[in-house]
């Protein structure tokens, strides 16, 4: 056994800058220190110490745990005493492997970092750190890269920063979407949560001149504790509700961190990923390494075949679905599509074979993306004959349901709630059984209202009826301005999403009557649980809230995603919406009068039809369209109950697994596939078997969440029209009209819902949880949507102009800008 | 020729009438059930008219059409549900 030259050297020692002696990470930290950057004090155990304890170690075979040399034990005690100024001070032990943090290989997350290390546990942490070189992810990573770097590891023992805020700053956006921008991610507590991908961080994109070009404040529900006295305790702790939606950094701090990161990148002449932390007002740089490509576990797999994004899902949320959601859904969907990188795509070749037109690739992609009508394309009669046969078979298989749903009483859908409750209390049903039972277990001799998904699928025919009505009016009333038709076709008061809005409005009205309550809510100082606890159960607001939650508590933002917490579990979204109504005056509320506009539009239509039979025919079509529009919205209210029930089953399973020690953190279950979770529950596998898988999938999910989903794979879609004027954006009309107002960009209503009456809502997408923001908006602009999307349907209800498929609107438009919208003609202009 | 024609007409008419029957159990109140029965009687009337318009020698084909339609309707809808419910052909996914 060779004696190392020194058992430990301070980071300030020049030897530390030699990566062949102290590994890539320590060398990088030492250089940062030399450059005068604020690096926490640390000592490095050079690679020679590793070689001393693990001589002739085989990179492919994990060795026995070594005993520490007495000299090293003494050195470690001395280091702990020096770095820990007080009894509360803790240490962090980091790997610094040879080749780590190099330009070709970052080894990010492959070797271990140990937080909360005390003087007593330091020796163990050092040995664990060495042995992490043989962990499965590290071995897989090394073999995948086929790196020729020598094998060995130095260890950094550093003072642990009690970070109140921490994160990562990339000198250039690593997703490649905005290469010229720096991307800063930040959250509360320790940065380990960010590295693990367990927390959705706030994100800031910063231009080269230090301006924040875009910010996305996320809901930060969890943080890594700054202090951990009980090592067996949960590392993650909940963030106080009030803090969850607050930005974790001020604009000045964002500028400072981005500036430091750019300086480091310029000195290294390569793009850097800088880990930072703030303790009090003091900023620390924890490490800097070149941005490298994702590991094997996180890489996207290549895609074969021709696929087009399934628009109805993308219209509700653009983030990928978690592996658990994908795995459960793929077991109940007909094999007509494919989940690619967490999003659902339809098979373009299959669609082409089902259509009666011979379409070009571009026209086909446009049709599936609901952007174009194929009506101008020539019919292929051979296909028409083939399709007639398919239609006949389809009619025999589904015709009965199709006809039944035409007269389904809307109130009969409520029976589904009882079916969901029965499934929830049935312990024999696991999450997959529950999903199958609630979605697929229809019986022909039971009322069809008990199967809202069937009703929902059938209700899509309103789109065909709208086409028929349009063609009919073109013939019998050519002078009628069909722009107003959308208003006439709105669903009316029976729509549950409208009743949801009324429920929120009622909560706001009750809160407004109690001055103390309304000022508390408006001051952003309350969470709903605290408010109701203070008020007591007999206060009208508490009772109204309970009634609202009993009816709408199963709803959520991104409600198709099983990981998304429901309003009942996490009522901050409801609080934001109530607050949004509270901030508007009663006068503003009264200005919203869609009913009067609807009657006027109906009257205008009748006057355009001279004959009684024409009016009767048109009225019949309108009545049918209104019925199906309402049916579509209301069935969604009910079938999302199924999603809420499946989520509850999964959460119960997760609790059992956490109690058994087979899962460590809340929401980890959503990064497993269902059979993997079942195997864990059955004891066939353990935490060690799934830890790496969860980690890799979580990181991939985080990265994919940052990327805009490709609309197609291996088939070319129409490139959205680019306007010569940067201030002009174009989109498709979902609800006609003209408006002018101040832009309010809202990315997530559970984080922020500050929308004043007369503002223009600019959103990436919408789902029913966004509905309460609609009344009072002057117009709605949505990045992804279609005529059939939720945004369009509800905007028509309220008679609000709505533009959908406005590419890049949430990036190009900034809150506070004045916008002029002509939804009828499909454009929006940024006036100032 | 006429037999084939009535056979073909009877098939969708059966689906339409069966849906009419089941619409009665879909209703939640008396007035809804009354309307559903009214609608059902209209569909049955269509069947009666078809039978009246069909020469006596071909009337049996209405029955064949109805039975074939019922058989295919139940078989196809159960088969479609089986394909999905069995989970044997799950939708593929690419991570």
pLDDT tens, residue order, chain B (95 aa): 889 999 999 999 999 999 999 999 999 999 999 999 999 999 999 999 999 999 998 999 999 999 999 999 888 888 877 877 777 778 888 87
Please name the residues in contact with A83: beta carbons below 8 A apart, sequence gap of 6 or more: A41, A42, A43, A89, A91, A157, A158, A159
The arithmetic mean of pLDDT across residues A745-754, rounded, is 79
Q: What is the pLDDT of residues A458-483, one digit of tens each?
A: 888 888 898 899 889 989 888 887 77
The pLDDT, as a whole number, for residue A594 is: 60
Contact A399/B15, CB-based, under 8 Å?
yes
Residue A642 has pLDDT above 90, yes or no: yes
Residue A286 to chain B, least CA–CA distance (Å): 32
Residue A743 sits at the vertex; the CA angle it makes with A737 and A748, to the nearest 5 degrees, is 105
> A122-126, A338-342, A703-707: which range is least confident on average?
A703-707
Is residue A339 within 8 angstroms of chain B, CB to CB?
Answer: yes
Q: What residue has token string 């500036």?
A: A259
The answer to whether the Cβ–Cβ distance between A331 and B87 falls below 8 Å is yes
Highest mean pLDDT among A559-563, A775-779, A810-814: A559-563
- In residues, how long is chain A? 832
Q: Would you say A317 and A767 are in contact if contact means Cβ atoms under 8 Å apart?
A: yes
Does residue A32 surpass a pLDDT of 60? yes
* 3-state secondary structure at position A239: coil
Q: What is the pLDDT of residues A340-376, one digit of tens each?
A: 999 999 998 888 887 777 778 888 888 888 776 666 6
Please return the burial class of A14, using the count of CB atoms within 10 Å of its CB with bins 0-12, 13-18 and 19+: exposed
What's the gap in Å between the CA of B8 and the closest CA on chain A?
Answer: 10
- pLDDT over 90 at A422, yes or no: yes
Distances in whole angstroms, Cα of residue A592 to Cα of each of A383, A586, A596, A599, B32: 49, 10, 10, 14, 34
> Residue A28 in contact with residue A22, Cβ under 8 Å?
no
- Which of A412, A331, A287, A291 minimizes the C-alpha distance to A32? A287
What span, in angstroms and rounded, lies between the C-alpha atoms of A780 and A762?
6
pLDDT-based confidence at residue A590 (cuts at 50, 70, 90): very low
pLDDT(A1) > 50? no
A411/B92 Cβ within 8 A: no
Query: What are the Cα distances from residue A528, in Å, to A140, A316, A524, A547?
Result: 47, 26, 11, 14
Worst-scoring range by mean pLDDT, A78-82, A99-103, A822-826? Answer: A99-103
Q: Is the Cβ–Cβ distance between A671 and A563 less than 8 Å?
A: no
Beta-carbon contacts of residue A8 (< 8 Å; ≥ 6 apart): A43, A44, A45, A46, A49, A75, A76, A79, A157
Which carries the bigger pLDDT value, residue A692 or residue A631?
A631
Between A372 and A425, name the one with better pLDDT.
A425
pLDDT interval class at A591 (50, 70, 90): very low
Give the range with max mean pLDDT: A389-398, A726-735, B59-68. Answer: B59-68
Closest CB from B36, B76, B85 relative to A396 = B76
Tokens of B86: 């069995």
Per-residue tokens: A404: 């039944």
* Closest chain B C-alpha to A789 CA, distance in angstroms: 24
Residue A232 has pLDDT above 60, yes or no: no
Query: What was the pLDDT predicted at A780?
Result: 92
Give me the mean pLDDT over the A658-673 stretch: 90
> Residue A106 pLDDT more than 50?
no
Q: Are A117 and A192 in contact (CB under 8 A)?
A: no
pTM score of the predicted model: 0.82
The answer to whether residue A678 neighbours chain B at the CB level (below 8 Å) is no
Chain A, 2 to 61: residues with Cβ < 8 Å from chain B are none
Closest CA to A218 of A594, A505, A558: A558
Contact: B94, A339; criterion CB under 8 Å: yes
Burial class (CB in 10 A: 0-12, 13-18, 19+), A617: middle
Helix segments in A202-287, DSSP class H: 241-244, 251-268
A296 touches chain B (CB under 8 A): no
């Amino acid at each position: 056994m060779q004696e190392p030259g020194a058992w430990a050297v301070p980071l300030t020692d020049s030897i530390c800058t030699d990566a062949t002696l102290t590994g890539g990470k320590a060398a990088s930290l030492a250089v940062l220190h030399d450059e005068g950057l604020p690096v926490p004090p640390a000592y490095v155990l050079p690679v020679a110490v590793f070689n001393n304890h693990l001589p002739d170690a085989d990179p492919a075979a994990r060795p026995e745990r070594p005993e520490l040399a007495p000299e090293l034990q003494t050195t470690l005690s001395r280091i702990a005493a020096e770095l820990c100024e007080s009894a509360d001070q803790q240490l962090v032990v980091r790997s610094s492997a040879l080749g780590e943090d190099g330009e070709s290989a970052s080894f990010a997350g492959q070797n271990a970092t140990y937080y909360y290390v005390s003087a007593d546990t330091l020796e163990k942490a050092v040995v664990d750190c060495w042995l992490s070189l043989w962990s499965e992810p590290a071995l897989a990573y090394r073999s995948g890269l086929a790196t020729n770097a020598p094998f060995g590891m130095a260890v950094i023992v550093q003072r642990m920063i009690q970070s109140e805020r921490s994160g990562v700053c990339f000198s250039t956006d690593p997703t490649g979407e905005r290469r010229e921008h720096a991307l800063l991610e930040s959250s509360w507590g320790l940065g380990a949560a960010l590295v693990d991908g367990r927390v959705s961080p706030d994100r800031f994109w910063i231009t080269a001149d230090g301006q924040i070009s875009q910010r996305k404040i996320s809901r930060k529900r969890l943080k890594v504790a700054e202090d951990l006295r009980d090592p067996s305790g949960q590392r993650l702790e909940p963030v106080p509700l009030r803090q969850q939606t607050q930005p974790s950094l001020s604009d000045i701090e964002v500028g400072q961190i981005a500036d430091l990161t750019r300086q480091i990148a310029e000195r290294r002449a390569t793009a850097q990923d800088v880990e930072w932390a703030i303790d009090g007002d003091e900023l620390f740089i924890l490490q800097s390494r070149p941005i490298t490509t994702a590991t094997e576990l996180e890489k996207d797999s290549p895609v074969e075949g021709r696929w087009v994004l399934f628009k109805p899902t993308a219209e509700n949320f653009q983030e990928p679905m978690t592996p658990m959601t994908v795995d459960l859904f793929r077991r109940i969907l007909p094999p007509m599509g494919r989940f690619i990188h967490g999003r659902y795509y339809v098979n373009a070749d299959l669609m082409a074979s089902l259509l009666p037109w011979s379409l070009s690739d571009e026209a086909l992609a446009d049709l599936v993306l609901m952007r174009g009508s194929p009506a101008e394309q020539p019919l292929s009669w051979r296909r028409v004959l083939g399709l007639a046969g398919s239609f006949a078979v389809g009619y025999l298989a589904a015709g009965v349901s199709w006809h039944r749903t035409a007269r389904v009483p809307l109130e009969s859908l409520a029976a589904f709630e009882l079916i969901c409750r029965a499934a929830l209390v049935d312990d024999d049903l696991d999450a997959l059984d529950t999903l199958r039972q609630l979605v697929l277990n229809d019986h022909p001799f039971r009322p069809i209202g008990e199967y809202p998904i069937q009703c929902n699928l059938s209700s899509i025919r309103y789109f065909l009826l709208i086409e028929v009505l349009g063609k009919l009016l073109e013939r019998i009333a050519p002078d009628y301005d069909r722009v107003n038709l959308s208003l006439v076709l709105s669903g009316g008061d029976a729509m549950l999403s409208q009743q949801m809005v009324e429920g929120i409005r009622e909560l706001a009205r009750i809160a407004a009557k109690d001055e103390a309550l309304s000022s508390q809510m408006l001051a952003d100082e309350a969470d709903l649980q605290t408010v109701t606890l203070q008020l007591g159960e007999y206060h009208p607001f508490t009772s109204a809230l309970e009634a609202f939650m009993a009816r709408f508590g199963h709803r959520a933002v991104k409600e198709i995603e099983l990981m998304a917490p429901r309003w009942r579990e996490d009522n901050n979204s409801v609080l934001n919406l109530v607050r949004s109504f509270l901030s508007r005056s009663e006068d503003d509320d009264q200005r919203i009068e869609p009913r009067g506009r609807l009657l006027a539009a109906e009257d205008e239509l009748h006057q355009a039809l001279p004959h009684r039979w024409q009016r009767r025919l048109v009225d019949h079509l309108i009545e049918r369209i209104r019925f199906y529009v309402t049916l579509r919205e209301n069935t969604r209210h009910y079938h999302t109950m199924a999603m809420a029930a499946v989520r509850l089953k999964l959460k119960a399973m997760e609790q059992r697994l956490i109690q058994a020690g087979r899962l460590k953190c809340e929401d980890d279950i959503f990064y497993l596939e269902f059979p993997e979770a079942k195997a864990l529950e059955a004891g066939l596998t353990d935490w060690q078997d799934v830890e790496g898988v969860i980690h890799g999938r979580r990181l991939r999910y985080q990265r994919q969440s940052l990327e805009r989903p490709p609309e197609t794979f291996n088939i070319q879609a129409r490139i959205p029209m680019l306007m010569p004027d940067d201030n002009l954006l174009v989109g498709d009309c979902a609800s006609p009209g003209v408006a002018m107002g101040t832009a309010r960009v809202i990315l997530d209503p559970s984080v922020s819902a500050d929308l004043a009456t007369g503002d223009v809502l600019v959103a990436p997408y919408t789902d029913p949880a966004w509905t309460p923001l609609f009344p009072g908006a002057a117009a709605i602009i949505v990045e992804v949507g279609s005529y059939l999307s939720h945004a369009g349907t509800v905007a028509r209800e309220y008679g609000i102009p709505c533009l959908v498929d406005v590419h890049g609107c949430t990036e190009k438009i900034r809150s506070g800008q004045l916008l002029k919208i002509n939804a009828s003609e499909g454009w929006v202009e940024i006036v100032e | 020729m006429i037999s084939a024609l009535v056979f073909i007409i009877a098939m969708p008419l059966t689906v339409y009438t069966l849906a009419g029957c089941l619409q009665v159990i879909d209703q939640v109140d008396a007035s809804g059930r009354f309307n559903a029965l009214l609608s059902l009687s209209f569909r049955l009337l269509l069947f009666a008219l078809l039978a009246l318009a069909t020469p006596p020698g071909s009337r049996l084909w209405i029955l064949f059409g109805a039975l074939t339609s019922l058989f295919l309707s139940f078989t196809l809808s159960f088969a479609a549900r089986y394909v999905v419910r069995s989970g044997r052909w799950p939708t593929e996914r690419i991570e």
